[in-house]
Chains A and B, each alone.
Chain A
Amino acid sequence: MAHIIIDETRCKSCFICVGTCPKGLIKKSDKVSKLGDNLVEFKDDKNECLGCAMCATRCPDMAITGVYK
């Protein structure tokens, strides 16, 4: 099952991934980082993730540490 792994300690809340996911599976989360910024979360209830790795390709902080297809 395709999915991604997000390392919250690397995420700097730039939200580039939110606009990049073609299926809109990455969203702003209510959870906040140490600096008080909202983190992102991956929610794929309908197994829509394609494993395309576009999110990981555009993440400037390698916070998406793994993409599985």
Chain B
Amino acid sequence: MQVFSIPKSMKENAKFTFCPGCDHGIAVRLVAELLDEMDLKEKTILAASIGCSVFLYDFLDIDSIEAPHGRAMAEATGVKRARPDKFVFTYQGDGDFASIGLAESTHAALRAENLTGICINNTTYGMTGGQHGPTTLIGQKTTTSPMGRFRETYGYPIRIAEHIALCEGTAFSARVALDTVPHINQAKKALRKAFQVQLDGLGYGFVEILSTCPTNWKMTPDEAHERVKNEMIPVFPLGIFKDVTDISE
């Protein structure tokens, strides 16, 4: 019995062009598996972003529209309002979602748009060469902070999932990681919930995914996953920060 196969929502013979060991591939696969399992492939429109995350439309066999840097949520809002019968989601990096696009992202949540946002947080601008980003850790060396991120000069990294959870219109906000098998399984559950709140018309669903950038971190994939465990998760704690469907409270 086959217990694992390539999701049908992937384009035929699509091969990831990400760097070796990059967690983006796992995140894309989880999205593709959910599109299959929730039977959404034919009714999905993706608002693509700028950065390594942009490649999603090369891999997934769905309709997509490209947005200028950071504006994916603004475009997704237009698409969803024009076609409320469609399932609309964005897939963005932390620089796209939380730096240049922070206004668009936050206000989409405040407007309670029926959208799903996925943000890959790898603490750097991956595609452009590993520059200092909004989520760069205190002390982390990047090409534009070669001595490390100083709190005195650059301030603190943004905790995106908590930030989005504070917005009134958010239905679901969670942070997950992809460094271990249990964390990958939790990530899939969170993504399913973020998809479902949109389908149920409850508002904005959001998942922040802690990911690696072995190339720009100048680490092996295993060392990069150690950094996620030892340095990122203590700063960006995993969990669900808002869930309007949770009736346990």
Q: Is the C-beta of B94 less than 8 angstroms from some C-beta in chain A?
A: no
Interface size class on chain B is: 20 to 34
A58 touches B25 (CB 8 A): no
Tell me, in angstroms, the Cα distance from A34 to B8 when the chains sit together: 27
Interface window among B12-20, B41-49, B103-111, B140-148: B12-20
Q: Is the C-beta of B149 less than 8 angstroms from some C-beta in chain A?
A: no
Shortest distance from the beta carbon of B116 to any chain A beta carbon, whole Å: 22
B22-35 interface bits toward A, Cβ cutoff 8 Å, 1 = contact, 0 = none: 11111001000000
Contacts of B25 in A (CB 8 A): 59-62
Q: A12-B21, A16-B222, A62-B25 are in contact. Are A67 and B4 (CB under 8 A)?
A: yes
Partner of B16, one of A54, A58, A61: A61
A16 touches B181 (CB 8 A): no
Tell me, in angstroms, the Cα distance from A12 to B4 when the chains sit together: 20
Tell me, in angstroms, the Cα distance from A6 to B154 when the chains sit together: 45
Q: Is the C-beta of A42 less than 8 angstroms from some C-beta in chain B?
A: no
Contacts of B21 in A (CB 8 A): 12, 14, 16, 60
A57 touches B184 (CB 8 A): yes
What count of chain A residues pass the 8 Å CB interface test?
Answer: 25
Partner of B20, one of A14, A57, A58, A64: A14
Tell me, in angstroms, the Cα distance from A53 to B3 when the chains sit together: 7
A14 touches B221 (CB 8 A): yes
Residue of A nearest to B25 (CB): A60
Contacts of B29 in A (CB 8 A): 62
A60 touches B22 (CB 8 A): yes
Q: Is the C-beta of B5 less than 8 angstroms from some C-beta in chain A?
A: yes
- Residue in A12, A20, A59, A65 whose Cβ sees the most chain B Cβ within 10 Å: A12
B1 touches A60 (CB 8 A): no
B4 touches A56 (CB 8 A): yes
Shortest distance from the beta carbon of B222 to any chain A beta carbon, whole Å: 6
Q: Is the C-beta of B6 less than 8 angstroms from some C-beta in chain A?
A: yes
A5-39 interface bits toward B, Cβ cutoff 8 Å, 1 = contact, 0 = none: 00001101111100110000000000000000000
Cβ-closest 10 pairs across A and B: A60-B25, A14-B21, A67-B4, A12-B20, A14-B20, A56-B4, A53-B4, A14-B221, A69-B3, A54-B181
What are 13 A-B residue pairs whose CB atoms fall within 8 Å in the complex? Answer: A9-B15, A10-B16, A14-B21, A19-B222, A56-B4, A57-B4, A60-B18, A60-B25, A60-B26, A62-B16, A64-B4, A66-B5, A68-B2
